[in-house]
Amino acid sequence: MKILLNKTSLTKSLRQFSDIGFVPTMGSIHKGHLSLISKSNQICSKTVVSIFVNPKQFNNKKDFKTYPKNIKNDIKLISKTKKVDFLYVPKLTDIFKNNKKPKIKLIKIDKILCAKFRKGHFEGVLDVMDRLTSIVKPNKIFMGNKDFQQLFLVKKYLKKKYNTDVIGCKTIRNKDRIALSSRNYLLTKENLIIASKIIKKLIVLKKNIKLEKNKNKYLLSVKKDLQKRFKIKIDYLELRNTDNLKLSNVIDRSRLFVSYYLNGVRLIDNL
Ligand code: AMP
């Protein structure tokens, strides 16, 4: 595995290859990231992973400061897979310097779910994905269904500019059904017990919601109950169509989207 610290050396190394799979990450590598790497390694002849904690996608300074970072361990874990050919670890200036791009704006119908609660977040995500894609020039990008809205918006945005497939990959969970996430490193044992109880409730809810006539109205009352029971703040609990992310009243082609805070840490998931 070759580690590259700037775009000039990365571009040089990649020039001769034409079947590149790309896994963008913000580090604090876990088995969710490793599953994307495996997928890329199965499908593409070369795999590039990036580790870059993008400050532009944090709408909250404290969240950026406390975001878990562990580059030494990340390199160890990624190298151990023997499935990554190039690891790109750029500095802030390598991505953002001397490269003015028109400001990305979300359209009104996209300002839902996390876009409604984290102002500027997806603008930052789309900006960095645009920059990384223009540097790596991948044939395929592998991203997690765990961040489904991110996957949806990146697909939609990159389609307009690049000839790159964005492939959604399944969410990896721990034995307690909690979706793996770098943010889980910020949770206490007690928080994790609550997170497990919540996700198990949501799994049952997703099965039973079939019987409800007005599903999103029912979800509002479930949201209130969960907030009270677990003393948490829930940003949203909504059933939405996976093709267009519109509110849905059927189970088919729909997912239950949730975001809530535990110990000041914002978690998201979908089922
Ligand atoms: P992050 O480092 O959190 O920005 O995530 C990098 C990529 O890994 C994104 O495409 C995420 O959707 C994906 N990812 C994060 N958690 C998981 C998970 N538990 N299972 C599968 N993919 C994940």
- pLDDT, tens digit, 9 for 90 and up, residues 57-83: 998 999 999 999 999 999 999 999 999
Which pTM was predicted? 0.97
- The total number of structural domains in the chain stands at 2
Instruction: Please choose from 26, 114, 147, 185 the residue to mutate so as to test ligand 1's pocket, defined by most ligand atoms within 8 A of CB.
Output: 147
pLDDT band at 97 (very low <50, low <70, confident <90, very high): confident
Instruction: Specify the residue with its C-alpha closest to ligand 1, atom 10.
Output: 143
C-alpha 162 to ligand 1 mean position (Å): 22
Q: What is the position in ligand 1's atom list of the atom closest to the CA of 150? A: 12
Q: Which of 121, 133, 149 is nearest to 257 (CA)?
A: 149
Distance in Å from the first CA to the final CA of the chain: 35
- 110 occurs within a structural domain: yes
| Average of per-residue pLDDT across 35-42 | 98
C-alpha 188 to ligand 1 mean position (Å): 21
Note whether 219 and 251 are within 8 A (CB). no
pLDDT band at 26 (very low <50, low <70, confident <90, very high): very high
Mean pLDDT of the chain: 97
Are 19 and 131 in a shared domain? yes
Q: Which two tokens stand for residue 229?
A: 């029971």
Any residues with Cβ below 6 Å from ligand 1, and which?
Answer: 25-26, 32-33, 35-36, 143-144, 146-147, 169, 171-172, 179-182
Instruction: Specify the residue with its C-alpha closest to ligand 1, atom 5.
Output: 25
Cα radius of gyration rounded to whole Å, the chain:
19
| pLDDT one-digit tens code per residue, 173-202 | 999 999 999 999 999 999 999 999 999 999
C-alpha 144 to ligand 1 mean position (Å): 5
- 107 occurs within a structural domain: yes
Helix (H) or strand (E) holding 133: helix 121-136
- 158 occurs within a structural domain: yes
Instruction: Please choose from 22, 25, 255 the residue to mutate so as to test ligand 1's pocket, defined by most ligand atoms within 8 A of CB.
Output: 25
- 133 occurs within a structural domain: yes
| pLDDT one-digit tens code per residue, 146-176 | 999 999 999 999 999 999 999 999 999 999 9
Rounded Cα–Cα distance for residues 257 and 152 (Å): 13
149 conformational bin, left if phi > 0, alpha if psi -120 to 50, beta if neither: alpha
Q: What is the position in ligand 1's atom list of the atom closest to the CA of 180? A: 19
- 182 occurs within a structural domain: no
pLDDT band at 98 (very low <50, low <70, confident <90, very high): low
Instruction: Please choose from 146, 182, 269 the residue to mutate so as to test ligand 1's pocket, defined by most ligand atoms within 8 A of CB.
Output: 146
Are 17 and 141 in a shared domain? yes
- 32 occurs within a structural domain: yes
Are 153 and 199 in a shared domain? no
pLDDT at 80: 98
C-alpha 23 to ligand 1 mean position (Å): 9
pLDDT at 53: 98
Statement: residue 94 has pLDDT above 90: yes
- 246 occurs within a structural domain: yes
Catalytic annotation, residues = 33
| Average of per-residue pLDDT across 16-35 | 98
C-alpha 152 to ligand 1 mean position (Å): 14
Q: What is the position in ligand 1's atom list of the atom closest to the CA of 33? A: 8
Statement: residue 136 has pLDDT above 70: yes
Are 220 and 153 in a shared domain? no
Q: Which residue range forms the structural domain that includes residue 159?
A: 2-169
Statement: residue 99 has pLDDT above 80: no
Q: Which residue is it, tokens 């200036």? A: 93
